[in-house]
């Protein structure tokens, strides 16, 4: 028996506010992250991942340790954090707040040594590496790792078996795949990408982008996907089990006719 | 009634927040242990997880806590709770660590093999079961819980103990044990909710 497939909720935060994104651009303010953490951590999700995306929209002054502390205090389930991590000290300060794992964002592209340094300090099991992936051609199974800055997507290197191996050799204990091309689309996961990752990665992989709750049972049912876990966005999670216990959200979702309408409700506001 | 005092080893790298909150909720008073004098008056010393074992030992040595810790837990019998790397600290280290642990358990930790067929590290929720052959305590036979794991190394061989918990990830490994005054769990009891509370209650009852 192995560890169970993890169903993870991903919360994106910009300047202290919970937001939702589509194609990695912020489309909607969703409310207070603390309320979201309190609500979502009661739904039997395996983990909660917190992405501070403030850095993509301009210069930020380091990591908001106060916010992480506040959120970690109210989160009884395991938590990971990504955003603005630029040194080993940053990683340690996050772990000390009560976070189990840190995920290193696009910084690793220019500073791959940082993966090794962080991994040596906090262990590879707590060091995840984020790969922002865009589809060049889904049918031909071509993907590339991209960076995102000020809303612009820049393609960097092809996503290959060798790239995954080199990240693992550097000390990555987990890969967090952000499928940018499917972000916020709710089209479901890219099965070719899932197949490729399941075959290529010797470390656990979390895949995000287009995921719905039905994707969770699909990944769970396939034995060859044993190392894969699925991350749902905070709004995607509301279409599943959280719905029953959030009557105000359910009503709002029923009233909403389109995806944009659904997103216009501040689901996690007080 | 005075709360028992738990000291959390603070070597600068570990997860301090979650164990502290767990102990607060479990009815303990807490304080950080940053030097040799801080072991006085403690009822329990906790070594939290989330760090590399080598780095942990190195920092304990740099802060000159390692010897006092050994004296307190092994010499004076101060109850010890090790979480994740805190469990591994009680062993002889691993093949890859340059430094030795406290050696309370005369075994080495082994790294989970990692290749296309075997996924490592072991991350996520898995089942913890009690090994009835190594149970000197009255614990229900149905003792089977889900716990949260986050580790690359584990003790493979079962050994004589008051309580021994095991888990399977490709192969069976020791996920927790209790020997004399040493409680050690490979999983994160501070995030494992039901099983975490149960173990903390057992510890509190024994103090």
SS3 of chain A: the string is: CCCCCCEEEEEEEECCEEEEEECCEEEEEEECHHHHHHHHCCCCCCEEEEEECHHHHCCCCCCCHHHHHHHHHCCCCCEEEECCCCCHHHHHHHHHCCCCEEEECCHHHHCCHHHHHHHHHHCHHHEEEEEEEEEEECCCCEEEEEEEECCEEEEEEECCHHHHHHHHHHCCCEEEEEEHHHCCCCCCCCHHHHHHHHHHCCCCEEEECCCCHHHHHHHHHCHHHCCEEEEEEHHHHCCCCHHHHCHHHHHHHHHCCCHHHHHCCCCECC
Directed axis angle between helix A161-170 and helix A113-122, to 10°?
50
Q: What is the pLDDT of residues B125-137, one digit of tens each?
A: 999 988 877 665 6
Pick from A82, A116, A117: nearest CA to A100: A82
Highest-pLDDT range among A67-81, A176-190, A251-265: A67-81
Interface ipTM above 0.85: yes
Given a cut of 60, whether residue A253 has pLDDT beyond it is no
pTM: 0.89
- For residues B26 and A141, the model is more confident at B26
**Nearest residue on chain B to A69, alpha-carbon basis:** B17
Nearest CB to A1: which of B14, B168, B188?
B168
> Helix (H, G, I), strand (E, B), or coil: what is residue B47?
strand
User: A257 falls in which pLDDT band (50, 70, 90)?
Assistant: very low
Instruction: Please tell me the least confidently modeled range out of A158-167, A231-240, B50-59, B152-161.
Output: A231-240
pLDDT value at residue A240: 55
Which residues are paired to A145 by β-bridges? A133, A157
Among A123, A164, A230, the residue to mutate for chain B (most B Cβ within 10 A): A123
Percent of chain B predicted with pLDDT > 90: 53
- In chain B, what residues touch A119 (CB-CB under 8 Å)? 52
CB distance B120–A202 less than 8 Å? Answer: yes
What's the full length of chain A, in residues?
270
Does residue A96 sit at the B interface (CB-CB below 8 Å)?
Answer: yes
- In chain B, what residues touch A72 (CB-CB under 8 Å)? 17-18
- In chain B, what residues touch A121 (CB-CB under 8 Å)? 13, 51-52, 55
Q: How far apart are CA B129 and CA B134, in angstroms?
A: 12
Instruction: Please tell me the least confidently modeled range out of A135-139, A172-176, B17-21, B86-90.
Output: A135-139
Does residue A83 sit at the B interface (CB-CB below 8 Å)?
Answer: no
pLDDT value at residue A115: 96
Q: What is the pLDDT of residues A25-62, one digit of tens each?
A: 776 788 888 988 888 888 888 999 999 988 776 666 78
List b or e across A10-33, with b for residues whose CB sees 16 or more CB atoms inside 10 angstroms.
bbbbbeeebbbbbebebbbbbbbb
Instruction: Please tell me the least confidently modeled range out of B79-83, B141-145, B201-205.
Output: B141-145
- In chain A, what residues touch B126 (CB-CB under 8 Å)? 1-4
Query: How far is B118 from chain A, CA to nearest CA, in Å?
Result: 7
Does residue A204 sit at the B interface (CB-CB below 8 Å)?
Answer: yes
The secondary element (H helix, E strand) that includes residue B70 is helix B66-70
CB A39 within 8 A of CB A68: no
């Amino acid at each position: 028996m192995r560890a169970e497939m993890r169903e993870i909720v991903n919360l994106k935060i910009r300047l202290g506010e919970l937001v939702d994104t589509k194609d990695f651009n912020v489309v909607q303010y969703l409310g207070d992250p603390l309320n979201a953490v309190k609500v979502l951590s009661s739904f039997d999700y395996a983990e909660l991942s917190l992405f501070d995306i403030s850095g993509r929209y301009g210069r930020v002054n380091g990591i908001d340790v106060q916010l992480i502390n506040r959120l970690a205090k109210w989160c009884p389930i395991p938590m990971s954090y990504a955003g603005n991590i630029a040194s080993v000290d940053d990683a340690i300060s996050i772990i000390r707040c009560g976070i189990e794992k840190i995920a290193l964002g696009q910084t690793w592209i220019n500073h791959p040594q940082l993966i090794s340094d962080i991994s040596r300090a906090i262990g590879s099991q707590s060091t995840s590496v984020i790969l922002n992936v865009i589809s060049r051609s889904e049918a031909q199974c071509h993907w590339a790792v991209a960076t995102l800055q000020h809303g612009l997507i820049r393609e960097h290197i092809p996503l290959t078996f060798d790239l995954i191996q080199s990240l693992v050799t550097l000390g990555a204990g987990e890969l967090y795949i952000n499928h940018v091309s499917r972000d916020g689309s709710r089209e479901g996961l890219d099965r070719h990408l899932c197949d490729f990752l399941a075959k290529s990665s010797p470390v656990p992989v979390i895949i995000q982008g287009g995921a719905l709750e039905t994707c969770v049972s699909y990944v769970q049912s396939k034995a060859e996907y044993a190392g894969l876990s699925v991350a749902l966005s905070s709004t995607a999670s509301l279409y599943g089990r959280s719905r029953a216990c959030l009557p105000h959200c359910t009503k709002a979702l029923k009233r909403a006719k389109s995806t944009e309408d659904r997103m216009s409700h501040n689901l996690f506001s007080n | 009634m005075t709360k028992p005092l738990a000291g959390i080893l603070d070597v600068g790298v570990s997860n301090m927040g979650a164990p502290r909150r767990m102990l607060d909720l479990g009815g303990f008073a807490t304080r950080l242990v940053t030097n040799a004098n801080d072991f006085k008056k403690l009822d329990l010393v906790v070594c939290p997880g989330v760090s590399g074992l080598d780095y942990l030992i190195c920092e304990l040595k740099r802060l000159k806590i390692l010897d006092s810790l050994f004296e307190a837990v092994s010499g004076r019998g101060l109850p010890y709770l090790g979480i994740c790397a805190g469990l591994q600290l009680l062993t002889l280290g691993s093949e890859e660590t340059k430094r030795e642990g406290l050696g309370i358990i005369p075994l080495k930790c082994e790294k989970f093999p990692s290749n296309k067929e075997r996924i490592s590290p072991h991350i996520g929720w898995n089942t913890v079961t009690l090994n009835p052959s190594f149970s000197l305590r009255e614990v229900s036979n149905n003792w089977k819980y889900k716990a949260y794991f986050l580790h690359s190394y584990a003790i493979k061989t079962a050994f004589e103990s008051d309580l021994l918990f095991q888990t399977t990830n490709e192969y069976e490994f020791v996920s927790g044990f209790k020997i004399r005054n040493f409680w050690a769990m490979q999983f994160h009891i501070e995030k494992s909710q039901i099983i975490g509370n149960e173990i903390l209650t057992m510890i509190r009852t024994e103090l």
